[in-house]
Chain A
Amino acid sequence: MRRGEVHALLGENGAGKSTLMNVLYGLHQPDEGEILLRGEPVRIGSPREAIGMRIGMVHQHFMLIPVMTVAENVVLASEPRRGPLLDVSTAEQRVRELSERFGLTVDPRARVGDIGVGQQQRVEILRVLHRGADLLILDEPTAVLTAQEIAELFKVLRTLTAEGVSVIFITHKLREVLEIADRVTVLRRGKKVETVATEGATEASLAKLMVGRDVLFRLEKRSTQTGETLLEVSDLEVDDERGLPAVRGLSLQVRAGEIVGVAGVDGNGQSELVEAITGLRAPRAGHVRVGGKDVTGTGVRGALAAGIGHIAEDRHRRGLVLDFSLAENLALREYRRAPLSRFGLLSPKRMQRQAKPLLEQYDVRGGQPGTTAGSLSGGNQQKVVIARELAEEPQVTVAAQPTRGLDVGAIEFVHRRLLEQRDANRGVLLVSLELEEIRSLADRVLVIYEGRIVAELAPDVTDEEIGVAMLGGTVRSP
């Protein structure tokens, strides 16, 4: 690690990136080995000691107090005082100085709860800088940001390194590594594979180091004949959590043998659409038909019985019961029926017997039927979800953000499975924020904006064309 460089730490889910950084920040203690800081071996016993050594960490999940102002959050734990009172004006002054010096514009008086995620991240970085850190650890900083915010973050990082601050950048996104990092260290299964300069490296070469084999970014797509309409959504209107309309008169069809991609900026009604189709949320108006049968308002069980599989957006919240064993999780959709249960009594033996081949078939690593789902890595957890949803051979699979937070190897696996569904003459509705994913998988691309489908495009149109439609602009047909 050199002064003033951006050093990326790249690895698959569960490769040990976060653990390594937690050791550096004093949250975990190493079992053996030593850390050299500025040439000296050091023992970092706690985050407090780490701060003393001018190491600062910005976690993936921010540790800010939403009801306090930006300035108050930044100076927390090293407040300027006037007598027993917090010296607010000095605090704000300091924040203003820091933000000017590093180009991190934020309003010191704004309440943290009121500002956006990108701004909150700046507050986190400011806080670390305020404590005098010159080694900054960023744990997956781009996971929560939009493309625009990511570009701004990178600008900030360049200013920081110009000022002599060193940055460790943890990620599993190859493109970002190439864009911002000077050098990159690739980890696989807790071991360093190699440290290389990003100059001359390509996405493919990094992916190979990371996974240990060649990775196909774009899978071969066989051309298929689309058949009858499997899923028909007509004039659907769905309210969100707060009772405000989120989906406003949306119609779409998914035919047999096609993947329909729904592209859009987050928060344009995608979640509500998915929940309405899969029976989790009752629509206010409109219909959902599967194979001609109206399943509107029949709930999760109705949608399931009609043949809708659902790869949920958030596998931790929806897709899995992390404290349940894998066998129990695999039974989540059909525990009510024989052979898994009879006369209201479960058969753990049959649940195990069902789980074993599924885990093998879907290549779930690091887990037996009896292991708890929470102990698996993210990619393997998602494989469990997919195994459960696809094992039933659903007519239509609704896949919401199916590769979020996964590494390249797992992404390839998920994409392959979705294409298999399509090739088996079933339908897939793919809702994703990753344009690249939609373009590479979908046969038709629908663009959702403010709860309506505003454009239908072929997957080979340019990013700009989709982008304009996603922001509500009109697309001129070529």
Chain B
Amino acid sequence: MTNPALGGGGEGPGSVTVASRMSGYLRGGGVLVPVMTALLAFAFGGLVVLATGANPISTYKAIFEGSGLNWLFPWVSGEDRLLAGLNLQQTLILTAPLILTGLAVAFAFRAGLFNIGGQGQYLVGSFAAVYVGSSLDGLPALAHVVLAIVAGCVVGGLWAGIAGLLKATTGANEVITTIMLNWTAIYLGKYAFGLNGPLQNSDPTQQSIPVSNDVLASAKLPVFWGDPELQGLHIGIFIALLVTVLFWVLLNRSVTGYEVRAVGFNPDAAEYGGINAGRSYVKVMVICGVLAGLAGAIDVLGWQFRVATNDIDVSLIGFYGIAVALLGRNTAVGTVIAALLFGALLNGTSVRNLDPTIFDPQLATNLATIIQGLIVLFVSAPVLVTYLPDRLRRRRRRKSQAVATVEAG
């Protein structure tokens, strides 16, 4: 008997929800499908480049160099190496929040939920972190940083918890509620940090600018590679990697993770094991919100140092998290790799990093969005990707049979 409070109506086993489809995707196949998915998306992206009259191969090469990943090649030296290092710092700065928003989506998928609210959770996390980081002057540095990060996590967790609570108590579909909470977060931010908003900066010379106060030096994340003045790489990437390890332990080695996965696969059987599915939904959404909120906090405390209403409009880190999680098959390691891929792609196509003589950076930014969209499309319709390997496998089998018949005859 599906508890009506949990099932949201007719989500028994067998009925296909988006979340169940996506968790099905993570179960089938190994590494091949995500690699094929990415390659196929890049190939289609190449066709788009071709259509604009540019050369796709040199474009991708330029994007690769723009991402700074060529720093990993030992033969790159001198001036090139210096530039590659700077680029790689930017790529990793983007990778860190992508890992976290990716995990925020992946964790929900593993629990049978579709968290589209990563963006909103990321935003409220950044709001809370910027507020704490820009106030409380005089606090020792370590305490200030930790406090600001915790603020981002807590507010992000509470924000997502609303969706979990609504699902557990009323059966409201989390897809709808998290989307709505995204908009709520966006407009909340535009109001709070906008002109004459309650959290707009208090600098009398900047009253015409809709931004927050700047994060104080004591709340900034330390930079360990590159120049802090030139947006060097802050320790956020280590925080993200550490959280990835915790994510893995939580999901695969903890009692909570066992319960979460049981509910994700089969809420009825979980209930039979004494697991309260409703409570699990709330717990899961809070954890997702903490992860996305942390992403917002490290962005604000690591390199943005302020929240501007313009940035709220254009920020897509939370949404990219969906593609990151899907490409990473909702696993810890997969998410890190996918986040690096997207970080490199976003940075490599940025106006600043791409050589305009090879490909117009304005177009290139759209290329990143196109590739992201294609990846989500291919993951949602895996047939598009698996058709080819299936065909090959079948042909190989037929051929080996033919050989066997010949040998027998």
Contacts and interface: CB of A to CB of B under 8 A. Distances in A.
A184 interface: no
A317 B269 contact: yes
B397 interface: yes
A301 B1 contact: no
B27 A341 contact: no
A317 B255 contact: no
A7 interface: no
Nearest to B263: A321
B272 A310 contact: yes
Given A275-B1, A323-B27, A332-B262, A344 B269 contact: no
B269 A319 contact: yes
B231 interface: no
A317 B274 contact: no
Contact of A335 (B1, B258, B266, B271): B258
Contact of B271 (A280, A328, A344): A280
Contacts of B256: 344
Contacts of B64: none
Nearest to B394: A29
Contact of B1 (A280, A320, A345): A280
Contacts of B255: 335-336, 341, 344-346
A350 to B, nearest CB: 12
A139 B1 CA distance: 27
Nearest to B259: A335
Given A300-B272, A346-B255, A322 B265 contact: yes
Interface in B214-260: 249, 253-258
Nearest to B1: A241
A304 interface: yes
Contacts of B265: 321-324
B149 to A, nearest CB: 23
Contact of B253 (A299, A320, A322, A346): A346
Contacts of B373: none
Interface in B385-409: 397, 401
A333 interface: yes
A333 B274 contact: yes
Given A32-B401, A323-B265, A300 B271 contact: yes
A112 B265 CA distance: 31
Contacts of A280: 1, 271-272
Contacts of A333: 273-274
A317 B268 contact: yes
B198 interface: no
A319 B274 contact: no
A322 B265 CA distance: 8
B329 interface: no
A255 interface: no
B397 A320 contact: no
Contact of A299 (B27, B254, B266, B274): B274
Interface string B196-211: 0000000000000000
A322 B268 CA distance: 12
A294 B397 CA distance: 62
B4 interface: yes
A65 to B, nearest CB: 16
Given A241-B1, A275-B1, A323-B265, A318 B272 contact: yes
A162 B254 CA distance: 63
Contact of A31 (B4, B12, B27, B397): B397
A32 B404 CA distance: 11
Greatest chain A CB density within 10 A among B12, B254, B255 is at B255
Contact of A321 (B2, B254, B262, B397): B262
Greatest chain B CB density within 10 A among A279, A301, A321, A333 is at A321
Contacts of A310: 272
B269 A320 contact: yes
Interface string B23-50: 0000100000000000000000000000
A231 B255 CA distance: 31
A281 B253 CA distance: 30
A312 B274 contact: no
A456 to B, nearest CB: 27
B179 interface: no
Contacts of B1: 240-241, 271, 275, 280-281
A336 B256 CA distance: 9
B273 A344 contact: no
B272 A328 contact: no
Nearest to B401: A32
Interface in B1-23: 1-2, 4, 12-13
A348 to B, nearest CB: 7
B261 interface: yes
A316 interface: yes
A279 B262 CA distance: 18
Interface of A: 31-32, 240-241, 271, 275, 279-281, 299-301, 304, 310, 312, 316-324, 328, 331-333, 335-336, 341, 344-346, 348
Query: Which 3 A-B residue pairs are closest in the complex by CB-CB distance?
Result: A300-B274, A332-B273, A301-B274
Given A280-B271, A335-B273, 18 more contacts: A31-B397, A271-B1, A300-B273, A300-B274, A312-B272, A317-B12, A318-B272, A319-B269, A321-B265, A323-B27, A323-B266, A324-B261, A324-B262, A332-B272, A336-B255, A341-B258, A344-B255, A346-B255
10 contacts: A241-B4, A280-B271, A299-B274, A317-B13, A318-B269, A318-B272, A333-B274, A335-B273, A345-B249, A348-B253
